[in-house]
Amino acid sequence: MIEVTLLGTGSPMVDPSRAGPSTLVRAGDQTFLVDCGRGVLMRAAAIGVGAANITALLLTHLHSDHITDLSDVITTRWVTTFTRTPLLVIGPPGTAAVVDATLAALAYDISYRIGHHADITEPPSIEVEEVTDGVVWGRDGVRISVAPTDHRPVEPTIGFRIEFDGASVVLAGDSVPCASLDALADGADALVHTVIRKDLVELVPQQRLRDILDYHSSVEQAADTAARADVGTLILTHYVPPLTPGQEDDWRALADKAFHGRVELGDDLHRVEVTPRNVR
Ligand SMILES: [Zn+2]
Ligand SMILES: [Zn+2]
């Protein structure tokens, strides 16, 4: 069984009840944080997960809403571990530069803490792996593979496929439908996909907001991808505009038009247990 928790179901639009994009995937005794948007560690704390418990941070892309709290993850990991515990970050090319720039912004803080605490003698330890394709993880029964997605002009962007104990979960991140995402998601037990409501966003009078229409999947497009890939469960997140209570059935109905499997959506901390279907 793989456990998926939507830590943050929000987007760049600030919403008082939705943290920024972030999903927690637990497989056996390994815990993967996928993206680290606004408020991620507050949400993780609500289910008993701290920065020290993260096996690896996986980044789908470097848009600000998906990495807002990278600084918090780095610092909190650093000050809450008592032996050298490198934070492993797996992301697209550019990730190392973002990590280095974040550490540069933290340079004063790092010097203050090293100066103040006798048992903190070195800066945060971070190992970055930049990837675009292929198998990136194989440890204690967990396998993670990566493939390019299409969020242009943001590139490169990647999706992750996490497999454990016969179950598989794919995290698409922000993407329009594309062949490489279809292949990554092929036959997966669950697909976590960010979505926007194109029918609502195209009514907004500001062109700057309507600009997002061309590089995100609508609910219907995510459902099409799920159907083409024959996934078991479609998990929707990153709702634009923010999903308000009572609207869930409207979003679900749009997904149901194209996809006939289980559809999951909801508030922050919505949790889905993903088990192998054993059938195609
Ligand atoms: Zn994005
Ligand atoms: Zn986004």
Which ligand approaches the C-alpha of residue 62 most closely? Answer: 1
The neighbouring-strand residues paired with 160 are: 146, 171
Ligand 1 centroid–CA 195 distance in Å is: 11
Q: Which residues contact 153 (CB under 8 A, 6 or more apart)?
A: 215
CATH code 3.60.15.10 for 2-274? yes
126 in Cβ contact with 89 (< 8 Å): yes
Q: Is 90 exceeded by the pLDDT of residue 280?
A: no
| Protein residues placing their CB within 5 Å of the ion ligand 2 | 65, 174
pLDDT in tens, 7-51: 999 999 899 999 999 999 999 999 999 999 999 999 999 999 999
Ligand 2 centroid–CA 111 distance in Å is: 33
234 in Cβ contact with 226 (< 8 Å): yes
Rounded average pLDDT over 91-112? 98
Q: Would you kindly state where each structural domain of the chain is located, as residue ranges?
A: 2-274
Q: Which residues contact 188 (CB under 8 A, 6 or more apart)?
A: 161, 168, 169, 170, 229, 231, 232
pLDDT in tens, 145-166: 999 999 999 999 999 999 999 9
The single residue of 65, 69, 174, 224 carrying the catalytic annotation is 65
Ligand 2 centroid–CA 63 distance in Å is: 7
Respond yes or no: is residue 65 known to be catalytic: yes
Distance of CA 154 to the CA centre of its chain: 16
Ranges 27-41, 176-190, 221-235, 237-251: which has the least confidence:
237-251
Ligand 1 centroid–CA 63 distance in Å is: 5
Burial of residue 205, with CB atoms counted within 10 A of its CB: 0-12 exposed, 13-18 middle, 19 or more buried = exposed
Q: Is 70 exceeded by the pLDDT of residue 262?
A: yes
213 in Cβ contact with 191 (< 8 Å): no
Whole-number pLDDT of residue 245: 87
Of 272, 268, 273, residue with least CA distance to 44: 268
Ligand 2 centroid–CA 24 distance in Å is: 16
Helices (H) and strands (E) in the chain, counts: 10, 14
Of 180, 168, 162, 272, residue with least CA distance to 225: 180
Give the whole-angstrom CA distance, residue 131 versus residue 250: 37
Ranges 44-48, 163-167, 212-216, 218-222: which has the least confidence:
212-216
